Amino acid sequence: MRSRLSGWIVAGAMLLVVGSPVFGGGALRDPTRPPATTSGKTIQDGQQPLKWRLTATIIGPERRVAVINDRALQIGQNIDGAVLVAVEAGSALLVHAGREMQLRLHEMAVKRTVRKTP
């Protein structure tokens, strides 16, 4: 009796393993990875994602810098055929092939100005 029960348990476990997407050939998606987006819109299948990614903006009294694709750029510099024309807190404006493209930081990544105490 016990060997028959063990046989059924093993057979059931094999069916579960073989039927799972890991062994069934289905594509697995990382559940912790956020969806790819462009300016708040989800990229649809067949669309090309943006080739520029803004990761930081630095604004000082004498310069404005945008970190795009891990490169620090000042206004007027080029990156992959686009020209950086403006940098604001949390955003940068590129011009590519006559089109303006606004890049934005993720809402949580924007740091606010801290007031200095006298």
Domain residue spans of the chain: 1-29, 43-109
- Name the pTM for this structure: 0.51
Contact predicate 96/82, CB 8 Å: yes
Confirm or reject CATH 2.30.30.830 for domain 43-109, answering yes or no. yes
Q: What is the pLDDT along the chain (118 residues), one digit of tens a residue?
A: 566 666 777 776 666 655 555 555 556 677 776 665 444 444 444 444 568 899 999 999 899 999 999 999 999 999 988 999 999 988 999 999 899 999 998 765 556 667 777 6
